[in-house]
Structure 1
Amino acid sequence: MDLELRHLRAFAALCDERNYTRAAHRLHLAQPSLTRTIQQLERILDCRLIDRTPRRFELTAEGAEFLSHARRVLADLDAAVADMQLRSAVSVGFAWLLPDGWFAAARTRFESVGGHVEIHRVDDPIAALAAGTIDIALFRKEIRLPKNMAARTIGAERRVLAVAASSPLAGATGLRWQELACYPLVVNTVSGTIDETSWPQPDPGREIVTCTNFDEWLELVAAGRGIGGVPELARTRAPHPGVAYVDVADAPPSRIYLIWRTTPASSRSVQRFLEIA
């Protein structure tokens, strides 16, 4: 039998506790199993490590020497594992417009403890998460998630109206959200933040124009096919010569969610990023 890591951990725990019962409990082992592991270690090393007496726990000279080596090996290994875990990359997927302030702060804090964040622009972050191509999805749409995913709200963004620059609404002031319920609406069905149900009293005859990504949505609005709603950061992050962003005082806010897989269990680096974020 070759020397294994479990032999070193069992021996170190026993020397720390100086009692088989307490050491077995610490290692989540039955006491007979711990005893057999120590006996295996002595056979592998071909020497006696412990003087077994009914009243006290004593190491032999060989045992004391080997304990020093075992603790150094375990400490080096634990440090190497911790360092590699901290340096693990976490991939975050988003469909459009990362929230600048939040992401910069989360990335800085995560990378300050040795982690690394990769960002991926994908049309459908939930599908990418399900496929395992990203670890965490940043999403702005409230949806029913698969059973193996969980979500956390990390903030809310003020929403503005997006209209064609040539639209009479482009220069309007004092608009109210309900007043917009009858206008044709452009809806990004995959990752958009609003649809016809975003109005408490929707117009049943309203024209709905659909698309599946932000770029297409922006072009449809610019072409005058309908109005849209978008987080306010689009003003600076997604300017378009054919689109005007208009304030609507009572527009409902857009929530931001982090979504991750719960099955299989998230890695430690993903858990650490979620704690930081």
Structure 2
Amino acid sequence: MRGTSPGQAAIADIGIRHLRAFLVLAEQLSFTQAAASLYTTQPSLTRSIHRLEEALGARLFHRTTRTVRLSEAGVLLREELKELLPRLESALTPRYDIQTLRIGFSWLFPDELLQDTIVGFERAYGVAVDLVRRDERCAGVDEGAVQLAVLRGRQVARGLRTVRIAQEERVAAVARRSPLALRRSLAWSELAEHPMLINTVSGATQLRDWPEEARPGNVTLCGGFAEWLELIAAGHGIGVVPELALRRNPHPGVRFVPLTGAPPMPLWLARPSTGAHPLALRFMERVVGVRQAA
């Protein structure tokens, strides 16, 4: 049996992760941004690139303390991999264990933000993306009911890996017959003067969003979005939601008033830290790529 040359052995040790690390870095030309896109650290990314360069016997990047640029060999490899690597990953992706990628959300899915990504993903992987509303804190991703979830708020449950995809402004939700509904805006600081309704199950605004010394004193807790919305419409208090509600207007008895001085509301895409479906990982990578290209 013929032996394996040292060069062949080195190349045999190269995996898809090394090639993907190279391709992401070749497109972004920033170790910081590429490491974030790959959900890894800069030292780990550097080791992957060094390993690939050693296996190929060629320098792929010219690096200084301030710049990263492709070498001639790097340019050639990038052009080859731009076509070959997606095809290889697609061939190795377990397509048929699920026919639908399920994305959970608690309410008001930000389709304007993710629509192009969803359409491109469905075409690339031949699966449908199904949007599932679940009135739960993690929208079902922590229980395996969905593969991904869109979550809002400052704190995300443990056991999830997240990427922040946007920040939303907040608006106040008030009953249409309330005098507050006539206001053009409300100040974040004055909300403490009014009865507050907090959705403890799936609400993105919680008492911890106010400084302890400025928290509302008259608070009613409720157990879901539908109940929260009906209580506001009935005049039992006011609430806080993302500005998306201004455009969607989910209840005829509720008016949404812009807030001034309110802290932005982070919007996350979340998946399980371990055991995430490969298609969920690919979707998150696409979302990160779209954000960085914008």
Q: Is this a same-fold pair by TM over 0.5?
A: yes
Distance 1:250 1:204 in 2: 15
Matched residues, number: 213
Aligned to 1:19: 4
> Which residue of 138, 148, 160 corresponds with 1:149?
160
Q: Does 1:169 align with 2:180?
A: yes
Aligned to 1:140: 152
Structure 1: which 5+ residue stretches go unaligned?
A: 1-10, 29-77
- 1:19 to partner: Cα distance: 3.3
> Which residue of 211, 219, 235 corresponds with 1:208?
219
Aligned to 1:275: 285
- 1:253 to partner: Cα distance: 2.1
> Which residue of 229, 232, 241 corresponds with 1:221?
232
- 1:80 to partner: Cα distance: 8.4
Structure 2: which 5+ residue stretches go unaligned?
A: 14-87, 288-294
Q: Residues 172 and 246 of structure 1 are in contact (CA less than 8 Å); yes or no, is this contact kept in structure 2?
A: yes
Q: Residues 95 and 125 of structure 1 are in contact (CA less than 8 Å); yes or no, is this contact kept in structure 2?
A: yes
Distance 2:246 2:185 in 1: 18
> TM-score, normalising length from structure 1?
0.67
Counterparts of 1:84-233 in structure 2 under 5 Å? 85=95, 89-114=100-125, 115-124=127-136, 126=138, 128-146=140-158, 148-200=159-211, 202-203=213-214, 206-233=217-244
Deviations 1:238-271 (A, max 9, x none): 332221111223232221111111212x232111
Distance 1:171 1:222 in 2: 15
Q: Residues 125 and 138 of structure 1 are in contact (CA less than 8 Å); yes or no, is this contact kept in structure 2?
A: no
Give SS of 1:93's match: strand
- 1:198 to partner: Cα distance: 2.4
- 1:150 to partner: Cα distance: 1.2
Distance 1:102 1:79 in 2: 26
Q: What is the root-mean-square deviation in Å for CA atoms of aligned residues?
A: 3.0
- 1:21 to partner: Cα distance: 4.9
Aligned to 1:73: none
- 1:100 to partner: Cα distance: 2.1
Larger Rg: 1
Q: Residues 160 and 248 of structure 1 are in contact (CA less than 8 Å); yes or no, is this contact kept in structure 2?
A: yes
> TM-score, normalising length from structure 2?
0.63
Distance 1:130 1:116, change over 3 A: same
Q: Residues 185 and 207 of structure 1 are in contact (CA less than 8 Å); yes or no, is this contact kept in structure 2?
A: yes
What amino acid maps onto 1:268 in structure 2?
P
Distance 1:214 1:255 in 2: 19
Distance 1:228 1:242 in 2: 14
Distance 1:125 1:163 in 2: 23
- 1:83 to partner: Cα distance: 7.3
Q: Residues 106 and 151 of structure 2 are in contact (CA less than 8 Å); yes or no, is this contact kept in structure 1?
A: yes
Q: Does 1:250 align with 2:235?
A: no
**Percent of residue pairs bearing the same amino acid type:** 35
